[in-house]
Amino acid sequence: MKKILVTVAAILLLATTAFAKSYTISVTQIVEHPALDAMRNGVADRLKEKGLDVTYNVHIAQGNMATNTQIISQIMGEQPDLVLAIATPGAQAAAQKIKDRPIVFTGVTDPVSAGLVKDLSNTNGTNITGMSDFSPMDKHVALIKEIVPNVKTIGIIYNSGEPNSVPNLKALKEEAAKVGISVEEATIANSSGVYQAAKSLVGRCDVIYVGTDNTVVSAIESAVKVCTDNKLPLIVGDVDSVARGAIAAVAVDYYKMGLQTGDMIARILVDGSDAGSMPVEFLNDLNLHVNKKAATAMGVTLPAATIERAAKVIE
């Protein structure tokens, strides 16, 4: 009898394995940089943790908008179970063409102004939902004033062609105006322009700020060099750029955002939730990262209170 039970158990195990569901997720990502890669890794880790068997088709446009559009045609040919769109340009391109399968975006600054959803609380029966990383600009301006107390003008580098950068600029101007600070702009069209854009701000501002602009962040080292050479503080909107040489950032942890995005994807793939009925989610767990070495190189002494409350201090 014991032998028969073992055999039955083995058959049941084989049957379970044979009918275990596997999934394909096609990923569109506008460019490679640590913050976007961290979201992608967070998604994969969370789905693996949940025991899902997932094959990923990863497509990265390397900042090229024509490639960004072509990727969607490739994804349509792949017929995945779900599309993961990392950052605004890929999400917009996917939403325009893909209507027959769920799309989950992550790292999108303003899903409403980007035309992805009409309402953050209800995605209105479409096939798309996801997570926003909208910058807490009041906290960014407060951090700038904390580190550079006498700041009168903030310089910002951004790609005006990136939809997520326009609301960030608007928010920066609004919050800076509240405390009597002006804003000087330097725009770029691609990552190769970051160095010259940073140089153009030298002498025009007291601190340079880079938000969650994917094009600028992908070449943040160019801004770091200009700021170091000219003793000009560089404050950023993503914590990963602090490790790459910026002085400080108070921002979402993009890996944690990836984990939470993975939870949303699991609800769609495993539980059968409808993407069009899922509200856009936010990650409210903000982290402060500071880089003491960068601060010294850029002529800034970090306040002791800033260092003390930082979640991560780079020496």
Specify the fold of 137-251+287-314. Answer: Rossmann fold (3.40.50)
What residue has token string 């904390």? Answer: 146
Q: Is the pLDDT of residue 14 over 60?
A: no
Q: Where are the domains of the chain?
A: 22-133+253-285, 137-251+287-314
Of 3.40.50.2300, 3.40.390.10, 3.30.450.40, 3.30.465.10, the CATH number of 22-133+253-285 is: 3.40.50.2300
Alpha-carbon distance values, 46 to 14, 39, 56, 294, 313 (Å) = 26, 11, 14, 33, 27
**DSSP per residue, 69-119:** HHHHHHHHHH--SEEEEESHHHHHHHHHH--SS-EEEEEES-TTTTTS-S-
Distance CA 96, CA 67 (A): 15
At 166, is the pLDDT very low, low, confident or very high (cuts 50, 70, 90)?
A: confident
Give the mean pLDDT of 89-104: 96
At 11, is the pLDDT very low, low, confident or very high (cuts 50, 70, 90)?
A: very low
Pair 260, 246: CB distance under 8 Å = no
pLDDT at position 17 is: 40
* Per-residue model confidence as pLDDT tens digits over 27-42: 999 999 889 999 999 9
Global pTM reads 0.77
Distance CA 197, CA 193 (A): 6
pLDDT at position 122 is: 63
Q: Is the pLDDT of residue 187 over 60?
A: yes
Pair 86, 40: CB distance under 8 Å = yes
Q: Is the pLDDT of residue 48 over 70?
A: yes
Q: Is the pLDDT of residue 10 over 50?
A: no
